[in-house]
């Protein structure tokens, strides 16, 4: 990759523009390859920079999402405020007091349950492989802005 760009940049000047287009294209393609939802999520959520998302990082992110999503500031998230982070069936499932909404505790519990479901090897950390599973993606929906 770097070798290719170096070689291209040694081309004669009249090829300069073409070379620039080619290298920009190569860099973009390379970016697409390494870019995945899980990798993006890890860089955003991994505050201690150990390459994984642990339960504390997930809970901190979930708490921020909760307060951001609670548009009417009534301390709960209804189905509209959840905005697809949980569907109606999952909301019903996680709504321990059956009031039709999730309060902060219920939301945190939903995140914990989803985190455990995604943590395939049980080390309390989620790597990009675990975050790329259906359970991991469902967790990301709860904790990603
Ligand atoms: Ca981490
Ligand atoms: Ca609300
Ligand atoms: Ca509730």
> DSSP character for 103?
E
Q: What is the pLDDT of residues 80-106, one digit of tens each?
A: 999 999 999 999 999 999 999 999 999
Residues 83 and 30 grouped into a single domain: no
**Whether residue 113 sits in one domain with residue 78:** yes
81 and 15 in a single domain? The answer is no
CA 79–ligand 3 middle distance (angstroms): 11
- The model's pLDDT over 56-80, given as tens digits with 9 standing for 90+, comes to 999 999 999 999 999 999 999 999 9
Q: What is residue 39's predicted lDDT score, i.e. its pLDDT?
A: 84
Q: How far is the CA of 61 from the centre of ligand 3 (A)?
A: 20
Q: Are residues 27 and 47 in the same domain?
A: no
Domain that holds residue 123: 37-143
Q: Please tell me the distance between residue 55's alpha carbon and the centre of ligand 1 in angstroms.
A: 9
Spatial contact of 118 and 135, defined as CB atoms under 8 Å apart:
yes
Number of domains in the chain: 2
pLDDT of residue 7: 56
Q: What is the DSSP letter of 52?
A: S
Q: Give distance in angstroms: CA of 58 to centre of ligand 1.
A: 9
Q: How far is CA 18 from the centre of its chain?
A: 36
Question: Do 106 and 80 belong together in one domain?
Answer: yes
Q: Tell me the longest C-alpha to C-alpha distance in the chain.
A: 72
CATH code for the domain of 53: 1.10.238
Q: Tell me the sheet residues that pair with 54.
A: 125
17 shares its domain with 54: no
Residue 45 has pLDDT above 60, yes or no: yes
- Verify that 68 and 117 share a domain, yes or no: yes
Ligand 1 centroid–CA 54 distance in Å is 5
Angle CA 60–64–66, to nearest 5: 115
Q: Specify whether 6 is located in the same domain as 55.
A: no
Name the 3-class secondary structure at 57: helix
Which residue is it, tokens 């170096």? 6
């Amino acid at each position: 990759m770097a070798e290719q760009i170096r070689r291209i940049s040694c081309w004669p000047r009249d090829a300069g523009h073409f070379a620039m287009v080619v290298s920009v294209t190569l860099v973009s393609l390379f970016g697409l390859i390494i870019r995945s939802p899980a990798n993006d999520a890890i860089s955003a959520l991994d505050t201690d920079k150990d390459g994984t998302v642990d339960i504390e990082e997930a809970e901190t992110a979930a708490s921020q999402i909760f307060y951001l999503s609670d548009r009417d500031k009534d301390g709960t998230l209804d189905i509209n405020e959840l905005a697809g982070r949980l569907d109606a069936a999952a909301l019903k499932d996680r709504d321990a007091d059956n009031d039709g909404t999730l309060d902060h505790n219920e939301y945190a519990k939903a995140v914990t349950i989803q985190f455990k479901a995604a943590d395939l090897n049980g080390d309390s950390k989620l790597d990009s492989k675990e975050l790329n599973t259906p359970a991991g993606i469902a967790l990301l929906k709860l904790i990603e802005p």
